[in-house]
Each structure stands twice: as structure tokens, then as C-alpha cells.
């Protein structure tokens, strides 16, 4: 069990996460940290780069609580990988998929209240063209859905990704992907490629349902040629992680993945745009220390 009582803790807050959710929740989160016997210092970050820099500047073993979305958590992980900080992920975004998958719950106050029951675990870290992420790197129709979801003017919570997906269906044109996993290359017309570490994104989509975070491998799931009905079916089945049974879904594992396409596409990592293809996705085994519940389902 963790033993941070009496320790200093840096609380990094992304004020824009979840349409202001993190900004609203941080005062009560500070109270919970104090009630747990911790001495918090709050930093309202200015950017993802700022979050990376602050997490990278602390002493090894320092507890860094992270109140924001999945992309913000990945940015903090980039700094913690360098400094040796211990991360406490807290749900301050829209989807909060890494928090969900780790089993930490969606109420930051309750998560902090159970801190003494948490354990420190070493998590793998995905890297897209060198940019760290925890959950999923994705390219294809779901990336387009992410663009539409992020531009939504209504505060739809996790359903913003369903809205984005439905809108993307109407705009998607067939693309041919070239995918290399540890040197094994395939080319296929399709809809998306997802490379999972935690393996969950989009507000509950278990797109890489067999992914675990401490095996030193990336789970690669792709959807090939399919009708819109089949795409929608895969999308809906992924909420339960049962979509791998579909014949047009391919799944494999590896430590180095190269993705390119015959049309301009952007690759995303935990909801944040990384840049255009081609992309190299790699794994950094057990690179970051994170507080998680004992028996977390994300581990092997």
C-alpha cells in the first residue's frame, strides 16, 4: 500500500479539460488531499508543455496528482518518465479512459480518499513519433471522429465521441493503410488502425480489449474493408470489447508499429493530435510509476 501521508504533493490542473470540469473540481480535490494527510501545492497549468516541464522538474518519488483529461495525463507522464515522479491520475476530463481502465473511479475526491489503499505500479508508456501516451494512438475514421468531437459546441460528456463518430461516418472515404508491426507489413483498405497501451479511449471504447499495461507490448487493432453497418457494429461492440470476433477486424501485438496511408491523415494519442502520417509507434516498458488499486484490471 502507498505511504504518502505527510508528504508534499503537486496537483497539476488543466483548466480547460472536460469543458472546465477540472477547474470546478480542484478546490474539493485539494480538501481531500489535505484530509488524507498530504500537503498539496496547486498549479493551474498553461499548456501540455507546461505540465510536462513541471512533472519533469520534481524530485524522484514525488507524488504528482493529475487532474485533467487523457491527453493531459500523457503530457504529465512525459515529465514523470524523466524525473521518476509517482503519478496519481484523477478524472478531470471528458472521457477519462485511462482512469477508468486503471480502476480509479470517476470521482477525484473519492479517489484521493482511498489513496492509502493504492499501490505504486510501473506502467508501460506508448510513444507516437516520440510523444508519450497511456491509452490509445489512433488514425482513420475514429481520428476524424475525434476532430468532430473536440469541435462540438455542446457539452455532451463522454457522448461527444459518439456524436463525432456518427458525423465522421458521413464524411469518411476509403483509405488504404500500410501497417508494419515488428517488420511484418500488410496493406489493406480500411477504416482505422488503433495502437493500444491501456487500450481504451473515446469515453469507454475498449478498442484494444486484450491490452495490458505492463507486458512491454502494443496491441494493434484495425478495421479493414467494411460497410457502414459493419463499422457501426464494431464501434458499438467495442464498448464491451467483443468486436474482435468480427471477420473484418484484425488484431496483433508488437513493440514497434509503423503506419502510413495513401491519403493525408492525422494520428492522435489519447485524443490529442500528434501530426500527419507516417507515424512510428513504440513502447517504453514500465517507464512510469502510477498509483493504482490492487488488482487493477489493466495489468497482466
| Block mean pLDDT (10 aa), the chain, length 300 | 77 92 94 95 96 97 97 96 98 94 95 94 97 95 75 66 76 89 97 96 92 97 92 90 94 98 93 94 98 93
- The pLDDT score that the predictor gives to residue 172 is 82
Q: What is the CATH number of the domain that holds 109?
A: 3.40.50.10330
| Residues 67 and 160 placed together within one structural domain of the fold | no
pLDDT of residue 136: 96
Domain match, 14 and 109 both:
yes
**pLDDT for position 173:** 80
| 235 and 163 part of one domain | yes
In three-state secondary structure terms, 119 is strand
1-4 own/partner pairs: CB under 8 Å, 24+ apart: 1/116, 1/117, 1/118, 1/119, 1/294, 2/115, 2/116, 2/117, 2/118, 2/119, 2/120, 2/291, 3/116, 4/38, 4/63, 4/115
Residue 294 lies in a domain: no
Mark which of 117, 144, 162 sits at the end of a domain.
117
Domain assignment present for 2: no
In a domain, 86, yes or no: yes
Q: Are residues 71 and 176 in the same domain?
A: no
Task: Check whether residue 78 and residue 166 sit in a common domain.
Answer: no
Place of cell 471522429: 145
Do 249 and 167 lie in one domain? The reply is: yes
Predicted confidence at residue 5, as pLDDT, reads: 65
Q: What is the pLDDT of residue 208?
A: 97
Calculate ∠ Cα 44-82-97, nearest 5°: 60
- SS percent in the chain: helix, strand, coil, step 5: 30, 35, 35
List, in sequence order, the alpha helices (H) in 92-203.
97-102, 108-113, 141-150, 160-171
Strand 279-292 relative to strand 86-91: parallel, antiparallel, unpaired?
parallel
Range of the domain at 247: 133-285
First CA to last CA across the chain, in angstroms?
Answer: 19
For position 188, which CATH number holds?
2.60.200.40
Assigned domain for 168 exists: yes
The domain boundary, picked from 82, 117, 152, lies at 117
Residue whose entry in the numeric block shows the C-alpha cell 494519442 = 269
Place of cell 513504440: 282
The answer to whether the beta carbons of residues 266 and 139 sit under 8 Å apart is yes
**Does residue 214 sit in the same domain as residue 142?**
yes
Same domain (yes/no): 111, 139 = no
Residues whose CB is less than 8 angstroms from the CB of residue 153 and which lie 6 or more positions away in sequence, other chains included: none
Same domain, 138 and 226: yes
Report the predicted TM-score, pTM, of the whole model to 2 decimal places: 0.90
Q: Is residue 126 part of a domain?
A: no
Last residue of a domain, one of 57, 90, 117: 117
Q: What is the pLDDT of residue 155?
A: 66
Domains in the chain, number: 2
Say if residue 266 is in the same domain as residue 167.
yes
Q: Is there a single domain that holds both residue 75 and residue 202?
A: no
pLDDT score for 55: 98
Q: Based on the fold, state whether residues 177 and 278 are members of the same structural domain.
A: yes
Residue-level pLDDT at 6 = 67
Amino acid at each position: 500500500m502507498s505511504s504518502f501521508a505527510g508528504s508534499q504533493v503537486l496537483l497539476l490542473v488543466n483548466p480547460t479539460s472536460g469543458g472546465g470540469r477540472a477547474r470546478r473540481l480542484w478546490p474539493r480535490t485539494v480538501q481531500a488531499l489535505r484530509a488524507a494527510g498530504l500537503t498539496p501545492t496547486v498549479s493551474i497549468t498553461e499548456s501540455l508543455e507546461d505540465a510536462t516541464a513541471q512533472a519533469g522538474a520534481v524530485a524522484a518519488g514525488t507524488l504528482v496528482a493529475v487532474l485533467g483529461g487523457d491527453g493531459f495525463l500523457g503530457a504529465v507522464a512525459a515529465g514523470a518518465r524523466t524525473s521518476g515522479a509517482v503519478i496519481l491520475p484523477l478524472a478531470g476530463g471528458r472521457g477519462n479512459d485511462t482512469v477508468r481502465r486503471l480502476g480509479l473511479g470517476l470521482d477525484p475526491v473519492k479517489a484521493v480518499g482511498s489513496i492509502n489503499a493504492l499501490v505504486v505500479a510501473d506502467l508501460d508508456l506508448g510513444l507516437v513519433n516520440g510523444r508519450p501516451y497511456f491509452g490509445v494512438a489512433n488514425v482513420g475514421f475514429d481520428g476524424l471522429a475525434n476532430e468532430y468531437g473536440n469541435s462540438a459546441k455542446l457539452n455532451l460528456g463522454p457522448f461527444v465521441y459518439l456524436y463525432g463518430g456518427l458525423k465522421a461516418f458521413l464524411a469518411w472515404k476509403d483509405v488504404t493503410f500500410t501497417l508494419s508491426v515488428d517488420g511484418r507489413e500488410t496493406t489493406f483498405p480500411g477504416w482505422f488502425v488503433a495502437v493500444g497501451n491501456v487500450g481504451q479511449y473515446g469515453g469507454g471504447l475498449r478498442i484494444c480489449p486484450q491490452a495490458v499495461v505492463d507486458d512491454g507490448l502494443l496491441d494493434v487493432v484495425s478495421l479493414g474493408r467494411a460497410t457502414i453497418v459493419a463499422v457501426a457494429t464494431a464501434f458499438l461492440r467495442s464498448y464491451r470489447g467483443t468486436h474482435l470476433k468480427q471477420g473484418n477486424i484484425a488484431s496483433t501485438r508488437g513493440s514497434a508499429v509503423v503506419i502510413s496511408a495513401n491519403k493525408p491523415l492525422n494520428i492522435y494519442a489519447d485524443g490529442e493530435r500528434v501530426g500527419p502520417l507516417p507515424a512510428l509507434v513504440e513502447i517504453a516498458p514500465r517507464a512510469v510509476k502510477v498509483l493504482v488499486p490492487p488488482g487493477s484490471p489493466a495489468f497482466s
